[in-house]
Structure 1
Amino acid sequence: MKRLLLLITLALAGCTAKAAPKVLTVCADPNNLPFSNRAGEGFENRIAGIVARDMGREVRYVWWAQRRGYVRNTLGEQKCDIWPGVASGVEMVATTRPYYRSTYVFVTRADRDLKGLTLDDPRLRKLSIGVQMVGDDAMNTPPAHALAARGMTSNVRGFMLYGDYTKPNPPAEIVRAVADHKVDVALVWGPLAGYFAKMSPVQLRIERVTPWLDNAQWPMVYDISMGVRKYDPAFQQKVETILARRKGEIDKVLDRYGVPRVG
């Protein structure tokens, strides 16, 4: 009788274990639209969901603000499986083949005669310019370096890349500044600009920043991959295969969020 009870218990335990859903643990920022938020409204939330469904897994999040120490406290400590959007080839993590390629853009009001700007356009010197800043000059964004190299500092207003994290969607401030006439033009990372331009009550113009490579060292265009833990090439290959297989579905998500892409 005891043996029978033991067998029944083991069988039930096996059924319970089999029923437990497999999980894909995703590291993401809970307040970083259009990329991700806690409500799952970002395009990286959507794309992580596509990857998880293909794997037959459910998504679980490790939430962490994308500030200093983000990688160390997430993938670095093996708390999650993927980081849905990271520049290809960064050294801190292993990265998949890119699943999109985007660019910094000029954001201007559509009712202003500012079409066709380039980094070398003389009109820039007479305009108030918004640019995303990191804070430490050595780590600043490529457009910030490009403007400084051209001697444009007095007419430039910096917007911190991460913004005021106590408010919703902190990076959106730079796009709103264009709509509200606080600056004439802003140089903004494309996915951020495309999304908030679509949300703007004022029609905004989005154009690529050119030249795409400034002074042979400041690229305005980046490949974006999924970051995975180092030393797990089998999992990396699995994610790459899914990204390729689901490319059409992923591209539709990127289109819906206004993400500008370049070939």
Structure 2
Amino acid sequence: MCSSFPERALSTALRVVALLLILMGAGASAAPQRQLRVCADPNNLPFSNESRGGFENRIVDIVARELDATVTYVWWAQRRGFIRNTLKAGLCDLVPGIPMAVDMLRPTSPYYRSTYVFITREDGPDIRSLDDPRLRTLRIGVQLIGDDGANAPPVQSLARRGVVGNLQGFPVYGDYSRPDPSSPIIDAVAKGDVDVAIAWGPVAGYFAARQRVGLKLKPVLPMVDLPFNPMIFDISMGVRHEDRELRNAVNQALRQHRTEIEAILAEYGVPRIDGAETAGAR
């Protein structure tokens, strides 16, 4: 009996070691995957929605795949205070669509440049310039930005030209109780309620393609109205100022998957302006 004790002790020790190895392996396999926490609007097509059907959702998925991360969303209506109540509050780490000039965030490199556009029916007037004299008499739909109805850049330029009495305003946020709250300005052109509308390109391109009547889109000229009032904007993703590592990783993903991103933007009808078109655009 005495001779079997070392064998039993060795057997017990081996079982303990095996159990520890199993537990260590289970712990390694259960290690949490990196999360990409994204701040987004749950009802803001073509950009984002809770079903992840917007082009920003699709591009975020590309970035997350490159970062070997899972995407989690903090949904918040994109109103005044959106960044303060989401990213600045530490609830999420990435805003997928911001103009590069937003000071509250550190922007990535831009992944597209778009412009305000004129929208008319196919049988309607061919408007290309803010200086077109017909704008003084046509019914013009324009977007109003913010809870206080602030003027978008095209409205500022029209007002400077004395074109004010024939404008019909459409809040850029729209009626949030309905799907597609940004679409009414494009619907108004299709129904003939206005003769021409001026809207931000991604909104115009997406909803124009979904109308039963043909609509035509033309970039607003001049692209940079003087005094400095641009109609074109570079759009980036944004992180907190201190999140340099995340910014660099997102930049690399955007560069490496440029072709895929361009295809998604085209699928959603986003008008894009390159540097050559911008040169001499005044």
If the length of structure 1 is used for normalisation, what is the TM-score? 0.93
Amino acid at match of 1:44: E
Q: Which stretches in structure 2 are left out of the alignment for 5+ residues?
A: 1-11, 275-282
2:118–2:127 contact (8 Å) kept in structure 1: no
The correspondence for 1:69, drawn from 81, 85, 105, is: 81
Query: In structure 2, what is the equivalent of residue 109 of structure 1?
Result: 121
Given residue 59 of structure 2, which amino acid in structure 1 is its aligned partner?
I
Greater Rg over alpha carbons, structure:
2
TM-superposed deviation, 1:42: 0.4
Please give the per-residue CA displacement for 1:123-156, whole angstroms capped at 9, x wherever unaligned.
111100000002546x421011111111111100
What is the one-letter code of the residue matched to 2:230?
P
- Whether contact under 8 Å (1:102, 1:223) holds in the other structure is yes
Distance 1:36 1:248 in 2: 20
Q: Aligned Cα RMSD in Å? A: 1.8
Q: Is this contact kept in 2: 1:75–1:93, CA < 8 A? A: no
Tell me how far apart the structure 2 counterparts of residues 142 and 85 of structure 1 sit (CA, whole Å): 18
Moved more, 8-17 or 54-63: 8-17
**What's the TM-score once normalised by structure 2's chain length?**
0.87
| Equivalent position of 2:245 in the other structure | 234
**Pairing 1:87-106 to 2, within 5 Å after superposition:** 87-106=99-118
> 1:43 and 1:175 mapped to 2: Cα distance?
19
| Contact 1:78/1:229 (8 A) holds in 2 | no
Q: What's the CA shift string for 1:10-35, capped at 9, x where partnerless?
A: 526523533x3322111110000000
116-125 or 35-44: bigger deviation: 116-125
Select the residue among 233, 246, 257 that pairs with 2:257: 246
Q: Which SS does the other structure have where 2:90 is aligned?
A: coil
Q: Distance in 2 between matches of 1:178 and 1:104?
A: 15
- Partner SS, residue 30 of structure 2: helix
The alignment partner of 1:144 has SS state of helix
How far residue 198 of structure 1 moved from its aligned partner, in angstroms, is 0.7
Residue 7 (1) aligns with residue 20 (2): yes
Map 1:77-92; keep pairs closer than 5 Å.
77-92=89-104
Residue 183 of structure 1 aligns with which residue?
194
Counting matched residue pairs gives 260
Identity over aligned pairs, percent = 51
SS in 2 for 1:170: coil
Distance in 2, Cα, partners of 1:117 & 1:13: 64
After TM superposition, the runs of 4+ consecutive aligned structure 1 residues lying more than 6 A away are: none
After TM superposition, the structure 1 = structure 2 runs for residues 1-263 of structure 1, keeping only pairs within 5 Å, are 4=16, 7=20, 10-11=23-24, 14-18=27-31, 20-112=32-124, 114-134=125-145, 136=148, 139-263=150-274
Q: d(CA) in 2 for partners of 1:233 and 1:128?
A: 47
Q: Distance in 2 between matches of 1:12 and 1:4?
A: 14
